[in-house]
Structure 1
């Protein structure tokens, strides 16, 4: 006998049923008494594993069945095992069923990479309370639901790379993973037809985002927008690694005020501007490896108040005075250590004096410091003189115009706006993007989503197109500008009045803009819908709204469900485009 044997490796390509292999093991009396802890069945042609196949191997801790042809694993397959590590990579599994691994309560490591998994049922990993590492990379998973990873309270490492699911991660999908520290998402080769990748990390991770130490996201060739709520308080430093290329500078980080270290590799960015760093209040280390040629604008560093290290290991700038400021800033701003290295330069020497830039002809690469000294120096005194003189002249002009024509400025603005509106009225069909701009309080959004949208946008033909601030406003654009543009791009303005509406400053602004437009255009473009009864005394405090209620008809949302259909018929008929003769 060989009682000290603990590892057993079997490679038998001619056998495709695991039960045959295990049967031979069990029939050898000397092997039945062994304390085998590691069993390697990789690189066989196994396609079928029967229930209770490993029942006799009670001491087995690690099982490797990689590189076989297994298409299905049953819930009873691993009964009787005390596994801590299970490797199933490079098989042909298509689906993971609920409670599939529930008997492996001691399992700590599970490798399912490079299978054909396209669907994971809810509670598929239920029972794996000790699982720490889960690798499901390089599969065909298209959807992650809120209960997909339910029960994995000990999981610290999750790899979901190279699955086409980055757009289909349900809100709060990772909130059960209270120990999660490292997450890997994205694809290395996203198709160019895919839209902009938008990830709201706060919605996906919930409160556990504060536990993460490393988050890897690959966008490949697609633009990407990441959003992390400002209410998240990080207990540890979060290392956010973005890998891939973008075709434009659309990578925008919203609300990352606690981020301290950011490394970016191989991102195709053509200009570094303040929009990229506007929320980096706590950033201390910024490492940018950008292989294409780009510009660096002064606004890029304005928000980096805590920055200690700025590293450009492969900097390639255009020969432009817009980039010249960085030399002066790097030399004079002692709070930040700036390390910049041109391509093909000695990597052990970060010298500003050795930087090169690309000239307009696309061929010459002169020394950047000498270029800025020769082309970008301006007499400071002359600039200050001109700027001061123009400033005083402008101030005097503003005071003069205000004193002489102050009362006429606002009417002049409305007259001009009305003239422009009339000039474009002949091309009304091309002018309007929406049938109605919906002005409502965010606290009434459930009514908008559950009642308004289904009964207006999904009814037709013609099908109405509504403008909602939560859905249709442009990201990064000023809110007031968003409201104004959307309102004037809509044929009607629909105000959903409630007590929440009256208390909202934004709703008050939208009402002012809508009534101003009504006065200028003199058309029936403003509709009022009262979602609840509001006492006249409360309404009187809002002069514009009270005046509209007295002079214009409006709709009340009926409390009787039998009257809802008539309400929607009336509102839809008012908002639908009128047929031109």
Structure 2
């Protein structure tokens, strides 16, 4: 019962509001209809051949598309009893208006003569001489196809209170401003959509708005008198869609109060330096020039008062730095808070784009739609601390992966338009939380969304966010995969079961990790066991050489010793106690050691020559001490002769301790580079060393001997 009463109450309130606000039509005679409100009639629309008597409450009368041809002396007598404040004649066939027709309309505030192409301007001029000027404030003489405006058209308007004059849509080719000399209180003058090629202004002290758009002016008119400005209070000027081909810094010097300047659709090729610098109050510039602008000089926007710059549809090549300077273009207008560069060609080089906007600290609105952007430069918006609206509609942006670097810590952004780009995935990292929390409205419509599990976060965010998502759900459709193309994004509902199977990427990651670990282990193994590996390679070569040998084992019986050992005194302990013991006691290899086997009393060189001849091979035990010993180096020079005669197989080189590069001599380097060697190492690999050493001393010499140097 309570619910029913509430509904009745709501319906009653709705009906009351409807009655109060809705207008209804009522007949006001055979050819008129009155537009009524509950308080009484307000408007009358007539289309007959005469004006009937209307209700007293009618305040506005429009006579449209009628057969009325003559407004005689008494044609408007039925209106004299009314407080008619607006009278409109539009699209009729009026040819004549009596000179006394308007004389008794003392409350008339707005007079409109529109689309009366059969009415001669001279006839209207005579009728206006008797119009009551007591209340008249707006005069509209539009679309009447008049070829000229008489200079004395408004001579009867002395002491007039007219504030607005509309002369749009006629065929004037020139106007002498003296026609408006009595409009001393006029604030708005509109001469749009004529064919003006010349205009000479008269001083109008209070004029604030001047409309000259859609004419044929070839240059900016002169706004200067001999001593000062013709329009000292002019705030808005429109020169849009004229044939103006040049603007320089003198074009607007006599407009000290100008705030809004509209230059849309003009044909200038170059924006020169300082063309707006004389306009100290200028705040708004519309430079929407379609495909004619080719060059912007460095300081064209040199004005600290400018707040809004509109340059959309220019198709200007900002991607060609020869046509403008990205560093200076906005440098001298730091107070700009609105920039529209839509439908131009912005640079793809991040540094150039960044340089353009960095001076605009106070920017609140930035529109870069249809500018061929592929990526936004990192740190582009970091400096724009007051930015509230960013429009990137209809570009080729495909990812927001670096959004944290693009937007920084911005918290002021309220409106973001990324519609009609190439964004397929929106995930948690696409836009950082600070941006999402500050937004009031976002538009991502008409992007080629992928309906995959990667979209799951975005779908959940849509359900819980308070941000207005423009165009959702109808402009948000799947593009991929093919089987879901055209489906609304809202109808795609990925579940946890679907979106959390074993990911093949995990398998790939594990395989790659194992492969990496294996490579690392191999590298470490090679590093640790490099000597053992060398020794193994050496042993394999020895075994191979044995199999390829040309002498029988009995040939060794021609030598008293299996090997002559060359070593330094510092390594004697290892040679005597380790090497000699192992080779002779365990392997049966007889070695010649100078401290044991040399003849006593004979000189050392003689002993070396004698026992080298008695030895089948030469063993050289190398170390840092060996490399530092001059005597050992001399021995190396001697045994090199054996190597030249019998080849590298006549040697067993043992690296007992690695030789530092600073101790490496040229003969030793030559010997090591041309002859394989084995390295001694205790622990793992030691047995490999002994096997390689023993087999080397047991192998046959190649036949015939080959010198390798």
TM norm structure 2: 0.45
Kindly indicate whether residue 190 of structure 2 is the aligned counterpart of residue 64 of structure 1: yes
Per the alignment, residue 301 of structure 2 pairs with 174
In 2, the alpha carbon distance for the partners of 1:15 and 1:374 equals 74
Per the alignment, residue 93 of structure 2 pairs with none
Per the alignment, residue 141 of structure 2 pairs with 10
Per the alignment, residue 311 of structure 1 pairs with 442
Alignment of 1:487-526 (within 5 A): none
Per the alignment, residue 220 of structure 2 pairs with 96
- Quick check: 2:142–2:170 contact (8 Å CA) kept in 1? yes
Q: 1:216 aligns with which of 328, 335, 340?
A: 340
Per the alignment, residue 494 of structure 2 pairs with 370
Per the TM alignment, residue 266 of structure 1 is displaced from its structure 2 partner at its CA by 3.9
In 2, the alpha carbon distance for the partners of 1:387 and 1:337 equals 43
Cα distance, 1:111–1:269 mapped onto 2, change above 3 Å: same
Kindly indicate whether residue 265 of structure 2 is the aligned counterpart of residue 141 of structure 1: no
**SS of corresponding position for 2:233:** coil
**SS of corresponding position for 1:263:** strand
Kindly indicate whether residue 159 of structure 2 is the aligned counterpart of residue 33 of structure 1: yes
Per the alignment, residue 155 of structure 1 pairs with 282
In 2, the alpha carbon distance for the partners of 1:41 and 1:341 equals 41
Cα distance, 1:402–1:254 mapped onto 2, change above 3 Å: farther
Per the alignment, residue 417 of structure 2 pairs with 288
Cα distance, 1:401–1:267 mapped onto 2, change above 3 Å: farther
- Quick check: 1:196–1:222 contact (8 Å CA) kept in 2? yes
In 1, the alpha carbon distance for the partners of 2:206 and 2:467 equals 54
Q: Deviations over 1:439-467 (max 9, x none)?
A: xxxxxxxxxxxxxxxxxxxxxxxxxxxxx
In 1, the alpha carbon distance for the partners of 2:464 and 2:382 equals 19
Alignment of 1:100-115 (within 5 A): 102-115=229-242
Per the TM alignment, residue 87 of structure 1 is displaced from its structure 2 partner at its CA by 0.9
In 2, the alpha carbon distance for the partners of 1:329 and 1:383 equals 27
Alignment of 1:490-569 (within 5 A): none
Per the TM alignment, residue 233 of structure 1 is displaced from its structure 2 partner at its CA by 6.6
In 1, the alpha carbon distance for the partners of 2:290 and 2:162 equals 35
Per the TM alignment, residue 100 of structure 1 is displaced from its structure 2 partner at its CA by 5.7
Per the TM alignment, residue 254 of structure 1 is displaced from its structure 2 partner at its CA by 6.1
**SS of corresponding position for 1:10:** strand
Q: 1:301 aligns with which of 407, 430, 446?
A: 430
- CA root-mean-square deviation: 4.6
In 1, the alpha carbon distance for the partners of 2:464 and 2:355 equals 28
In 2, the alpha carbon distance for the partners of 1:403 and 1:99 equals 92
Q: Deviations over 1:499-541 (max 9, x none)?
A: xxxxxxxxxxxxxxxxxxxxxxxxxxxxxxxxxxxxxxxxxxx
Per the alignment, residue 444 of structure 1 pairs with none
- Quick check: 2:425–2:449 contact (8 Å CA) kept in 1? no
**SS of corresponding position for 1:158:** strand
- Quick check: 1:223–1:251 contact (8 Å CA) kept in 2? no
Per the TM alignment, residue 106 of structure 1 is displaced from its structure 2 partner at its CA by 0.9
Per the alignment, residue 257 of structure 1 pairs with 382
Q: Deviations over 1:101-121 (max 9, x none)?
A: 943221011112222222112
Per the alignment, residue 547 of structure 2 pairs with none
In 2, the alpha carbon distance for the partners of 1:205 and 1:292 equals 27
**SS of corresponding position for 1:279:** helix
In 2, the alpha carbon distance for the partners of 1:304 and 1:223 equals 29
Kindly indicate whether residue 331 of structure 2 is the aligned counterpart of residue 206 of structure 1: yes
Cα distance, 1:318–1:404 mapped onto 2, change above 3 Å: farther
In 2, the alpha carbon distance for the partners of 1:124 and 1:172 equals 16
Cα distance, 1:162–1:378 mapped onto 2, change above 3 Å: farther
- Quick check: 2:313–2:343 contact (8 Å CA) kept in 1? yes
Q: 2:480 aligns with which of 358, 379, 382?
A: 358
Gaps of 5+ in 1: 348-353, 406-581
- Quick check: 1:137–1:161 contact (8 Å CA) kept in 2? yes
Cα distance, 1:399–1:56 mapped onto 2, change above 3 Å: farther
**SS of corresponding position for 1:96:** coil
Cα distance, 1:104–1:2 mapped onto 2, change above 3 Å: closer
- Quick check: 1:161–1:185 contact (8 Å CA) kept in 2? yes
223-232 or 167-176, larger mean C-alpha shift:
223-232
Q: 1:120 aligns with which of 247, 250, 258?
A: 247
- Quick check: 1:142–1:168 contact (8 Å CA) kept in 2? yes
Q: Who wins on radius of gyration, i.e. which is larger? A: 2
**SS of corresponding position for 2:494:** helix
Per the TM alignment, residue 172 of structure 1 is displaced from its structure 2 partner at its CA by 2.2
Cα distance, 1:399–1:334 mapped onto 2, change above 3 Å: farther
- Quick check: 2:451–2:484 contact (8 Å CA) kept in 1? no
In 1, the alpha carbon distance for the partners of 2:464 and 2:333 equals 33
Per the TM alignment, residue 363 of structure 1 is displaced from its structure 2 partner at its CA by 4.5
Per the alignment, residue 541 of structure 1 pairs with none
In 1, the alpha carbon distance for the partners of 2:142 and 2:215 equals 16
In 1, the alpha carbon distance for the partners of 2:269 and 2:377 equals 25
Q: Deviations over 1:19-52 (max 9, x none)?
A: x2x31322x3xx2232333222222221112365
372-381 or 33-42, larger mean C-alpha shift:
372-381
TM norm structure 1: 0.54
Q: 1:227 aligns with which of 326, 333, 354?
A: 354
**SS of corresponding position for 2:176:** coil
- Quick check: 2:251–2:275 contact (8 Å CA) kept in 1? yes
Cα distance, 1:52–1:70 mapped onto 2, change above 3 Å: same
- Quick check: 1:159–1:185 contact (8 Å CA) kept in 2? yes
Per the alignment, residue 104 of structure 2 pairs with none
Per the TM alignment, residue 386 of structure 1 is displaced from its structure 2 partner at its CA by 4.9
Q: How many residues of Structure 1 are paired with residues of Structure 2 in the alignment?
A: 382
In 1, the alpha carbon distance for the partners of 2:192 and 2:466 equals 48
Per the TM alignment, residue 81 of structure 1 is displaced from its structure 2 partner at its CA by 4.0
Cα distance, 1:364–1:131 mapped onto 2, change above 3 Å: closer
- Quick check: 1:319–1:359 contact (8 Å CA) kept in 2? yes
Cα distance, 1:156–1:201 mapped onto 2, change above 3 Å: farther
**SS of corresponding position for 1:49:** strand
Gaps of 5+ in 2: 1-131, 531-709
Cα distance, 1:207–1:222 mapped onto 2, change above 3 Å: closer
Per the alignment, residue 168 of structure 2 pairs with 42
In 2, the alpha carbon distance for the partners of 1:302 and 1:37 equals 52
Per the alignment, residue 548 of structure 2 pairs with none
In 1, the alpha carbon distance for the partners of 2:506 and 2:345 equals 47
